[in-house]
Structure 1
Amino acid sequence: MKKRWIADISLLAVTFVWGATFVVVQNAISFLEPLSFNAVRFSLAGVFLLLWLAIFHRSLFRHYTWPLIRSGIWMGLWLFSGYAFQTIGLLYTTSSKAGFITGLSVVLVPLFSFLFLKQRPSLNAGIGAVIAAVGLYLLTIGDGKMVPNRGDVFVFFCAVSFAMHIIVTGKYSSRYSTLLLTMTQIFAVAVMCAIFAFLFEDATQMWNIAVLRKQEVWSALLITSLFATTAAFLIQTNFQKYTTAARVALIFAMEPVFAALTAYIWAGERLTASGVIGCIGILGGMILAELPLTWILGKWWRTKRHFTS
Structure 2
Amino acid sequence: MKKSFLADLILLGVTFVWGATFVLVKEAINTMPPFTFLAVRFLFAALVLFLFMFFFARDSLKGMDRRLWISGAILGLWLFAGYAFQTFGLEFTTSSKAGFITGLSVVFVPFLSLWLLGQKLKRNALLGSGVATIGLALLSLTRDLSVNFGDLLVFLCAISYGLQIVLVGRYAPRYHAFSLALLQIFFCGVFNLIGSFLFEDVSVIVSPAVLFDPWVLWGLLICSVLATAVAFVAQNQFQKFTTPTRTALIFATEPVFAAITAYFWAGERLDVQQIIGCLMILGGTLIAELGGHKDTPEPDVVPST
Distance 1:42 1:160 in 2: 20
Which residue does 1:262 correspond to in 2?
A: 261
| CA deviation vs aligned residue, 1:21-43 (integer Å, no higher than 9, x gap) | 00010000000011110000001
Which residue does 1:274 correspond to in 2?
A: 273
CA shift, 1:145, in A, is: 3.4
1:77-156 alignment to 2 at 5 Å?
77-141=77-141, 143-156=142-155
**Unaligned stretches of 5+ residues in structure 2:** 296-305
Distance 2:206 2:172 in 1: 34
Distance 2:190 2:24 in 1: 23
Amino acid at match of 1:225: S
Which residue does 1:40 correspond to in 2?
A: 40
CA RMSD in angstroms comes to 1.3
| CA deviation vs aligned residue, 1:3-32 (integer Å, no higher than 9, x gap) | 111011110000000000000100000000
CA shift, 1:117, in A, is: 2.3
| CA deviation vs aligned residue, 1:262-302 (integer Å, no higher than 9, x gap) | 00000010011110000000000010111133779xxxxxx
Distance 1:72 1:295 in 2: 29
Distance 2:58 2:286 in 1: 39
SS state of the match for residue 144, structure 1?
coil
For these two proteins, the number of residue pairs brought into alignment is 295
| Comparing 144-153 and 123-132, the one that deviates more | 144-153
Distance 2:121 2:145 in 1: 31
Q: Is the 8 A contact 1:246 1:292 kept in 2?
A: no
1:40-79 alignment to 2 at 5 Å?
40-79=40-79
Q: Is the 8 A contact 1:18 1:228 kept in 2?
A: yes
Which residue does 1:301 correspond to in 2?
A: none
Q: Which is greater in Rg? A: 1
Distance 2:293 2:126 in 1: 15
Which residue does 1:222 correspond to in 2?
A: 221
1:197-236 alignment to 2 at 5 Å?
197-236=196-235
Q: CA 1:102/1:32 → structure 2, altered by over 3 Å: closer, same or farther?
A: same
Amino acid at match of 2:191: M
1:243-262 alignment to 2 at 5 Å?
243-262=242-261
CA shift, 1:62, in A, is: 1.9
CA shift, 1:59, in A, is: 2.5
Q: CA 1:295/1:70 → structure 2, altered by over 3 Å: closer, same or farther?
A: closer
Identity of aligned residues (%): 50
Which residue does 1:286 correspond to in 2?
A: 285
**Unaligned stretches of 5+ residues in structure 1:** 297-309
CA shift, 1:206, in A, is: 2.0
Q: Is the 8 A contact 1:26 1:87 kept in 2?
A: yes
Amino acid at match of 1:74: I
Q: Normalising to structure 2: TM-score of the pair?
A: 0.94
Amino acid at match of 1:78: W
Which residue does 2:183 correspond to in 1?
A: 184
Which residue does 2:301 correspond to in 1?
A: none
Distance 1:92 1:238 in 2: 36
Distance 2:241 2:248 in 1: 14
Which residue does 2:170 correspond to in 1?
A: 171
Amino acid at match of 2:278: C
Q: Is the 8 A contact 1:45 1:230 kept in 2?
A: yes
SS state of the match for residue 293, structure 1?
coil
Which residue does 1:306 correspond to in 2?
A: none
Which residue does 1:2 correspond to in 2?
A: 2
SS state of the match for residue 155, structure 1?
helix
Distance 1:83 1:93 in 2: 15
Distance 1:295 1:168 in 2: 22
| CA deviation vs aligned residue, 1:91-131 (integer Å, no higher than 9, x gap) | 00000000000000000001111222222211111100100
CA shift, 1:57, in A, is: 1.5
Q: Normalising to structure 1: TM-score of the pair?
A: 0.93
Amino acid at match of 1:124: N
Amino acid at match of 2:179: L
